Amino acid sequence: MSLTLPQPPRETLTGKSLIAGVFGWPVTHSRSPRLHGYWLKHYGIDGAYIPFSTHPAQFETALRALPALGFRGANVTLPHKEKALACIDQATERARRIGAVNTVMVQEDGTLLGDNTDGFGFLEHLQASAANWRAGDGPAVVLGAGGASRAIVVALLDAGVPEIRLVNRTTRRAEEIAEALNTAADRRITVHDWDHRAAILDGGALLVNTTQLGLAGQPALEIDLAQLPVSAVVDDIVYVPMETSLLAAARKRGNAVVDGLGMLLHQARPGFAAWFKVEPDVTPALRDFVLADIPGAK
């Protein structure tokens, strides 16, 4: 006669639980615990994902403690992303080119491998939402030159976009990205004046807003879309609100539009797969679950 042992409810951790988390300061704004928590429950995984409120002065010590604590790895969010690159043992090529790490994996030998999945998340969501867009369609115009911009520029270069027109209020920051990523043989990034942002839309196949303009509480993004072909895709990575004034104006004139929430959801996939050994799906139910916790997003 076989004896069936009682199984613990899914919410109960066991000695075999797989554990990961996210480091931020503050970490209260992070959507990652809700996102990974949804997947853990959905896939019935014996695991947990924990938010760590970690002061910058303690970040390196906290990150380096992951192997000793038996963690599978962690996400890293503001303001630790650049520091993380300096604290890990090995970085993926894209993390090095982006200059920041958002996903850390504890390897078999206890060393830390750092990756940056922001550009991956951007591209996966763009391709899922604008199925007709192809990297080779034409130039991309990227507004902004902060951390998100750099990740997106690397992803667009790797996807094969023929030209990236980069424009930022502070031109020097855009020039720094171009200097870091252009090579002697590959000079696809061109830098333009903020005042010329409407004119450089001419012939563009993709427009991406990576500035904070349009974010709730920030000024709106002012840009005349008249020069942008109606065939171009317009992608705004701001997701509070989901329908920014840029997306509303683009939709009205017939451009395909892509919102910012999907980038957030897709960037989480590689980390979850590495830590919890399941390839997770981005579904409408996940999207609704995460959206429900973002005031002002709808």
Instruction: Give the residues lining the site for ligand NAP (CB under 6 A).
Output: 118, 144-149, 168-170, 173, 210-213, 215, 219, 237-239, 260, 263-264
167 within 8 A of 143, measured Cβ to Cβ: yes
The verdict on whether residue 217 carries a ligand-binding annotation is no
The verdict on whether residue 132 carries a ligand-binding annotation is no
**Least distance (Å) from ligand NAP to the CB of residue 234?**
14
Whether 83 is a known active-site residue: answer no
The verdict on whether residue 118 carries a ligand-binding annotation is yes
Which one-letter DSSP state was computed for residue 68?
Answer: T
Comparison of 75 and 210: residue with beta carbon closer to ligand NAP? 210
The verdict on whether residue 93 carries a ligand-binding annotation is yes
Q: Which residues contact 12 (CB under 8 A, 6 or more apart)?
A: none
Which is the catalytic residue, given 41, 81, 83, 252? 81
Comparison of 71 and 120: residue with beta carbon closer to ligand NAP? 120
Question: What is the SS3 assignment for 140?
Answer: strand
**Least distance (Å) from ligand NAP to the CB of residue 116?**
11
| Strands lying side by side in the sheet with 164-168 | 189-193, 164-168, 140-143, 206-209, 233-236, 256-258
**Least distance (Å) from ligand NAP to the CB of residue 14?**
33
**Looking at beta carbons, which residue is closest to ligand NAP?**
146
147 within 8 A of 177, measured Cβ to Cβ: no
Residue with structure tokens 């996939």? 269
* Alpha-carbon span 221 to 233, nearest angstrom: 17
The verdict on whether residue 28 carries a ligand-binding annotation is no
The verdict on whether residue 176 carries a ligand-binding annotation is no
**Least distance (Å) from ligand NAP to the CB of residue 170?**
3
Residue 111 in tokens: 């060393």
β-pair type (73-76, 103-106): antiparallel
Angle between helix axes 32-42 and 269-276 (nearest 10 degrees) is 50
Residue 140 in tokens: 């991309």
* Alpha-carbon span 216 to 243, nearest angstrom: 11
Biggest distance spanned by C-alpha atoms of the chain: 80
Comparison of 120 and 133: residue with beta carbon closer to ligand NAP? 120
The verdict on whether residue 175 carries a ligand-binding annotation is no
Comparison of 19 and 290: residue with beta carbon closer to ligand NAP? 290
Residue with structure tokens 């790490």? 101
**Least distance (Å) from ligand NAP to the CB of residue 52?**
19
* Alpha-carbon span 287 to 298, nearest angstrom: 11
Residue 217 in tokens: 């509480």
Comparison of 105 and 126: residue with beta carbon closer to ligand NAP? 126
Catalytically annotated residues:
81
| Positions at the binding site for shikimate | 30-32, 77, 102, 118, 239, 267
| Positions at the binding site for NADP(+) | 93, 144-148, 168-173, 237, 260
